[in-house]
Amino acid sequence: MEKRQVNKSVVIGTIGADAHMIGGWVLRRAFEEAGFNVAFLGAVVPQHEFINAALEIDADAILVSSMYGMGLLDCEGLRDKCIEAGLKDIILYVGGTVAAPLELEKNWPEIERRFTAIGFNRAFPNTCTAKEAVQTLKADLGID
């Protein structure tokens, strides 16, 4: 299988009806400082806007933030839509307080399993640092 060319480009935004943006701002700055081209979409972003931005900048990854507990619902179907749009190899990350109720949020392995089942490469808890996210994506892309 031919490996995709790495462009060091990412799309970052907060999905669904979630208006939280601080995490996205922090990620944006960290990825820009690491030399990535960042399309920052802000908050309350529908799935199709993530896809359109990824196509526009030939993104390597889509980084989805969700802090209001509805991430599982908001992210359902995103991988399929990416494939339909020709983005079958794009890396999908999600992070934040991505699941409700609180009992589920405390069971992180189950959350990771659920996001993997809907096509995400990785899920990060709200305790993940921006530095960790950058390092993880660089490793997943095979770059320094």
Digit-coded pLDDT (tens) for 67-123 = 998 999 999 999 999 999 999 999 999 999 888 776 666 788 999 999 999 999 999
1 assigned to some structural domain: no
22 assigned to some structural domain: yes
- Report residue 28 as tokens: 């944006």
Determine the structural domain holding residue 129 and report its residue range. 9-141
pTM for the predicted model, two decimal places: 0.94
Conformation bin of residue 129: beta by default, left when phi > 0, alpha when psi is -120 to 50? beta
Q: Please state the domain count of the chain.
A: 1
Which residue among the candidates 20, 48, 89, 144 is catalytic per the annotation? 20
CATH classification of the domain holding 67? 3.40.50.280
For residue range 5-45, list pLDDT tens digits in order. Answer: 788 999 999 999 999 999 999 999 999 999 999 999 999 99
Residues comprising the chain, all counted: 144
pLDDT at 91: 98
The DSSP code for 88 is T
Which residues pair with residue 8 across a beta bridge? none
Distance, C-alpha 26 to centroid of its chain: 14
- Report residue 37 as tokens: 């081209």
Q: Is 18 a catalytic residue?
A: yes
Q: Is 48 a catalytic residue?
A: no
List CB contacts of 5: < 8 A, sequence separation 6 or more: none
3 assigned to some structural domain: no
4 assigned to some structural domain: no
pLDDT at 119: 98
pLDDT at 99: 85
pLDDT at 43: 97
Q: Other C-beta atoms within 10 Å of 116: how many?
A: 12
Distance CA 34, CA 144 (A): 10
Which residue among the candidates 18, 48, 89, 140 is catalytic per the annotation? 18
